[in-house]
Amino acid sequence: MILILFGPPAAGKGTQAARLKEAHKVAHLSTGDMLRAAIAQGTEVGKRAKAIMDKGELVPDDIVVGIIGDRIKEPDCRNGFILDGFPRTVNQARALDDLLKGRKLAVDVVVVIEVDEAALIKRVENRANEARAKGQPVRPDDDPETFKKRLAVYRAETAPVLPYYDAQGKTRRVDGMKSIDEVTAQIEAVLKAVKPRKGWFG
Ligand code: ADP
């Protein structure tokens, strides 16, 4: 099963992906996490990405497509994988289809986690306050103005990916305003209803 978790920033994709990974023993591929790891390691990619990410803008397609193209060749992706934060542009979605076609694979389902913008802004404020209270660093792109920029980028560049997958009949929407457990339950129901290509996710 190749599953895309789709939704605006702070919709809860990472939280849900971690749960699905644990429950179904599949790989979790988060481009945001991979880019942050590259920054921490000081790689060339990390150097190119840092300033862009800190501003809340999108890293160039060739960088993230390259990262994903390498990652899906790893053995832990053989049983399927969850994409979180990728694709974020229509160009990335097309590149993903090409990458998968080359391996005789295809996206099975795109789970869209819907959360309204006011709730997202509140969540990020809370996330930053909690980090501060614990004396932990706040993600530079969780600063309120930068977060609003990320929402604007989502609307302009990422939301257009939805019609791309709608046209393939692959999108399924879940209500991301519900509790974490209820969102997980909705996603599991979607996965049961989708006929997995090779039976992954049971
Ligand atoms: P969130 O889940 O809160 O939206 P992420 O960790 O997924 O945050 O992404 C953080 C930042 O990393 C993005 O704002 C963007 O700069 C960069 N990034 C992550 N994935 C991609 C992608 N597929 N294309 C371009 N930039 C990306």
Q: Which atom of ligand 1 is least distant from the CA of 57? A: 16
For 143-178, the pLDDT digits (tens) are: 999 999 999 999 999 999 999 999 999 999 999 999
Q: Is the CB of 58 under 6 A from ligand 1?
A: yes
Average pLDDT, the chain: 94
Q: Is the CB of 150 under 6 A from ligand 1?
A: yes
Confidence check: pLDDT of 202 > 70: no
Confidence check: pLDDT of 129 > 80: yes
**Distance in angstroms between the alpha carbons of the first and the last residue of the chain:** 10
pLDDT above 90 as % of the chain: 88
What is the per-residue DSSP string for 84-148? ES---SHHHHHHHHHHHHTTT----EEEEEE--HHHHHHHHHHHHHHHHHTTPPPPGGGSHHHHH
Distance CA 187, CA 3 (A): 11
Ordered by where they begin, the domains of the chain are 2-193 (3.40.50.300)
Q: What is the pTM of this model?
A: 0.92
Report how far ligand 1's centroid is from the alpha carbon of 179 (Å): 23
For 50-107, the pLDDT digits (tens) are: 999 999 999 999 999 999 999 999 999 988 999 999 999 999 999 999 999 999 999 9
Tell me how far CA of residue 142 lies from CA of 10, 124, 152, 176, 182, in angstroms.
Answer: 9, 6, 14, 19, 25
Distance CA 107, CA 99 (A): 11
Residue 36's nearest CA partner among 21, 22, 54, 18 is 54
Distance CA 170, CA 173 (A): 10
